[in-house]
Structures are given as structure tokens and as C-alpha cells.
Amino acid sequence: MKKILVITAVACLMMACGGNKNQKEMNNISNKEKAVALLKAIETGDNASIAYVNAESYKQHNLTVADGLDGFGAALAGLADFPEKARVNTVRAFEDGDYVVCQTDYNFYGPKAGFDIFRFEDGKIIEHWDNLMVYNGEKNPSGHTPFDGTTEVKDLDKTEANKALVRNFVQDVLMGQHPENLTNYFDGNTYIQHNTAIADGLDGLGAALAAMAEQGIKMEYFTIHKILGCGNFVLAVSEGRFADQPTSYYDLFRVENGKIAEHWDVMETIAPESDWKHQNGKFNF
């Protein structure tokens, strides 16, 4: 019965598409606030936030969710059969032009760490990308989680310089074009790491890479698909392979005084095309 009610509510929303929100109200809300509200609706069931999605043109890049608002509604309806209550806590969010980036602590079909990217047009969401990984609360060797750390967005005048720095770092170091430049991107060994398997500092990064090499595990970056940033925060969306599996990398960096000071990430294995629910692809920005 609960599932029927959820499906009915979602279907009604798709037809009305936010009758509770007039255009004036929507114009007074930032795109960042709309994106955060839409995600929070997964937890609260606040149906009014569906009005922030363009019902006629919504492209989905999560490969496990069908395209369009119908696919989004079906994903929400499926929560009715899940034993745990959904939880959505967006820790960081920022805008870059028509894009909004959200970093979120989820319990959505199980506990997860995730990044979501929304593209807006005329004040409504028309496209969505994400990267998700299972996260059960463990801390890394330095005691950090995928979510803790600085949240303040500042240095807005340095956005483009910081985006260029991160792009160069990914190319030089992660893609291996100029690995000898590694130390140029950091202020000595003062580097805060939130990857669940790696300790702080370049020492921690080096130790983790050495341990993976001993196990024959390769972490490879092939392509940068998108760099998005606001002030001191920059997200790099890349594609590569990890342990011989095709992988999507979302790396969030905090830049301070022209150096990388902090790092959060989510890695997701890319499903085989035979399992995709649409043909929009994982990236295609």
C-alpha cells in the first residue's frame, strides 16, 4: 500500500509539476538551494521540490536510473520497499555557471558517499550526473571521513586559477604526464586526505600507492571530462581504470594559497553497457 501511495504521488507531481511553486518564488531561490532541496526531498518526501526539475526535458546520467522524470520517480517509489529510512545530508554545495555540485552523506538504498552534479536551464534542472560509493562509517588512517573538514567557500576571485591548478594536477600527476611535478602542487607535507584508505600528507599518499603496487593494483586516469569550481573548491570528473575495472573518479580539492590543501573523492565502477537503463552515458557533459 505504501508503495502505491508513493507512485501515485510521484505521478501526480509529474503532471502538475510543482503547482505549489509559482515562477516568482522560484526566481528568488538560487540554483544551489534548488539542488539541495531536491536531494533532501528523497528523505523528507517534500513533493514541491519536483517543481525545480524540467518535466519535459530531464536527462539522466546515473546508469542505474531510467531517463527522464519517470525514471527519477520510479527510483523514489522503490524506496517504499527498502527497510531503512532514507537519509540525505548535503555537506558541501557550490555553483559554477549553470552547474551545481553537491557532496552528500546518503542512506539511499543503503549508506553511501556521493557527489551529484545538476545542470540548470532557465532556472530548472535539465540534466543530472552522480558518483556513488558504499560507505559504512569507517575512518581513514588519519581519522577522517569522506565528509568532514572545511566547508567554507571563499576566494571567489581565484576560481579560475584554482580550476586551472587542479586540471594541471590531474594531468601531470594522476594521468602521469609529468609526475616529477608532484611536490609543486602541495605545501610540503601538509595535505588533508579524506579517501577512506589513505592517510594525510604526501607520505600517506606515497605509502598507499606503494601498497597498491605491491598488490598489483593500478589506479589509472585517462580522461578529464569536467572541471567545476567555486573559489577554493574544485571538482574534477575523470575516467580511467582501477584494479582493471572501468572507473569514474570524482575528486574534490580545496585549494589554499595556490596549493592543494585537502581532498575528498568518490570512485565508482562503471557498469557494463548491457546493464545501462539509458544510452546517455556516464559522462557526456
User: Please, what are the domains in the chain?
Assistant: 2-136 (3.10.450.50), 156-269 (3.10.450.50)
Q: Which H or E run includes 249?
A: strand 245-256
Rounded distance between C-alpha atoms, residue 35 and residue 101, angstroms = 8
| Residue 24 confidence (pLDDT) | 59
Q: Give the CA distances from residue 276 to residues 69, 88, 115, in Å, rounded to whole numbers and listed in that order.
A: 17, 25, 19
How far apart are the C-alpha atoms of 261 and 185, rounded to whole Å? 9
- 11 has a pLDDT exceeding 70: no
Average pLDDT over residues 166-187: 96
Using alpha carbons, select from 26, 91, 76, 69 the residue that is nearest to residue 46.
76
pLDDT exceeds cutoff 50 at 223: yes
| SS3 label, residue 243 | coil
pLDDT of amino acid 194: 98
Longest CA span, the chain: 61
CA 192/CA 202 separation, integer angstroms: 9
Rg (CA), the chain: 19
- pLDDT 10s digits, 89-146: 999 999 999 999 999 999 989 999 999 999 999 999 999 999 999 999 999 999 999 9
| Residue 109 CB-half CA count within 13 A | 10
Q: Answer yes or no: is pLDDT of 181 > 80.
A: yes
Cβ neighbours of residue 9 under 8 Å, at least 6 residues apart? Answer: 47
Contact (Cβ atoms closer than 8 angstroms) between residue 94 and residue 230: yes
Secondary element (H or E) of residue 212: helix 201-214
Q: Which residue has the higher pLDDT, 122 or 11?
A: 122
Distance CA 124, CA 52 (A): 5
pLDDT category at 25 given cuts 50, 70, 90 is: low
Indicate whether this model's pTM tops 0.85: yes
Residue 257, sorted as left (phi over 0), alpha (psi -120 to 50) or beta, turns out to be left
pLDDT value of residue 47: 83
DSSP 175: S
Q: 34-38, 44-48, 130-134, 232-236 — which is least confidently predicted?
A: 44-48
> What cell was used for 222?
585517462
Average pLDDT, the chain: 91
Q: Residues in the chain, how many?
A: 285
Which band of pLDDT confidence, cut at 50, 70 and 90, is reported for residue 7? very low
Whose cell is 502538475? That residue is 16
